[in-house]
Structure 1
Amino acid sequence: MIRDFVYQRLESMINTVPTEHSQSLNQYAKDFIKGIQEKCDVTMSHVFIENFPMIVAVHDIGKKHIPDYILEKTTQLTDDEYECVKRHCILGYEDLQKAFNNTSLNKEERELIELCKESCLYHHERLDGSGYPYGYKQIPLIAQMVGILDSFDAMTVNRCYKKAMSKEEAIKNLIQSDKYNEEFIYVLSEVIEDENETRNSDK
């Protein structure tokens, strides 16, 4: 059993970064993990499944350390600025280390924090080795899933420097990139289709 203070501490960390991105990811997280549970041959604990939305929401907490002028920049980042942004993965991991380092946690709580740390540290790694911060090809399961949701959201949200893709175009882009677990992408595509069908039926 995970105690309230653990959730409260995680939520306080999430609240230190802009919420729009995390909120839009959260709307897909529950259906996405349910679809993976039903359709993919992967082993996930109940801590993993039940806390997936929280783990997704935590992934970008390291961005609180990145200067606003970089995060809000409307033109292309310089090489130095991009290197600074890439640090958010490691910084988020370190924030979680510090927040729970001297805390007595039970087995389920330790598992949750480890999943959150993996989500922070590896969500920009890619299966072809092109990601960061380490260029790993062997990526923890949780980070593969969070990385897909994170990339999908980034593609489908309007930015001052780029126009949003349609959700269908973003799914196609993810599949063609060879950077992600294709089976997981198809689960996300079904979540999007179901969402569209529900929206149309409500009209």
Structure 2
Amino acid sequence: MPPDLDTLLREQPDPHHAQRVAHLACLTAPHLRLNPHHAFVAGLLHDLGKLGLPPGLLEAPRRLTPHELAHVRRHPRLGAQMTARLWPDCPPCVLHAIAYHHEREHGGGYPHGLSDLPPLTALIAACDVWDALTSERPYRPAIPPTEAQALLEQERLPITTVQGIGQDPEILVR
């Protein structure tokens, strides 16, 4: 019998990452005139596809091989497919945000190198990057909020332009 979703999520390298992304997205959404519920759900489910990755891949203490990296880069699309199967009435903007949260406005992301992202997708991408930067990782310490802010600006992700959040990065500190 497969383990339940709660068990799978607890076994992720950072079991609280999705919760933090969801919280940040929900707080930020009204500033962008986005639905906070959609933002929360997209943030919570954005990495669901990682549950389909080979065990131990995300904790590898080394640079991933091209084959392993290809597996990791499939997780956004897999997560959107899983969500659509489990929730047939899921809002399309939520599915898009899950499927493309690693895309970047300048076209340098993956899986398709898209640019001109819809607002919810760009928000989830920004919140995901913010949390990844400001959280401790096995291979590096957490980055201070001011440095994370500068990196987000380089990537042209929307948290830097949100009034009240871009102006005050401390609001994003856990």
Q: Distance in 1 between matches of 2:107 and 2:55?
A: 29
Is 1:193–2:165 an aligned residue pair? no
| Alpha-carbon RMSD | 2.4
Equivalent pair of 1:29/1:56 in contact (CA under 8 Å): yes
- The TM-score with structure 2 as length reference comes to 0.82
The residue correspondences of 1:6-85 to structure 2 (distance < 5 A) are: 16-17=8-9, 18=12, 19-37=15-33, 44=34, 48-85=35-72
Structure 1 residues not aligned, in runs of 5+ = 1-11, 38-43, 102-109
Residue 6 of structure 1 is matched in structure 2 by none
Structure 1 residue 191: deviation in Å?
A: 5.4
2 CA distance for matches of 1:159 and 1:64? Answer: 19
- For 2:30, give the aligned amino acid: K
Contact 1:31 1:191 in 2 (8 A): no
Matched, 1:92 2:101: no
Unaligned runs of 5+ in 2: none
Residues 97-127 of structure 1, C-alpha deviation per residue, up to 9 Å, x if partnerless?
Answer: 22234xxxxxxxx4x4322211211100111
Q: CA deviation at 1:20?
A: 1.3
| SS of residue matched to 1:161 | coil
Match 2:149 to one of 134, 156, 171: 171
Decide whether the 8 Å contact of 2:53 with 2:72 is kept in 1: yes
Please say if residues 156 and 165 of structure 1, whose CA atoms lie closer than 8 Å, have aligned partners that are also in contact: yes
Match of 1:157 in 2: 135
Distance change in 2, residues 1:146/1:161 (3 Å): same
User: By how many angstroms is 1:195 displaced?
Assistant: 6.0
- Partners in 2 of 1:36 and 1:142 — Cα distance? 9
2:103, 2:51 → 1: CA distance?
Answer: 20
- Point out the structure with max Rg over C-alpha: 1
**Greater share of residues in helix:** 1
* SS in structure 2 of the partner of residue 67 of structure 1: coil
TM-score (norm 1): 0.71
Aligned residues: 165
Give 1:136 shift.
0.9
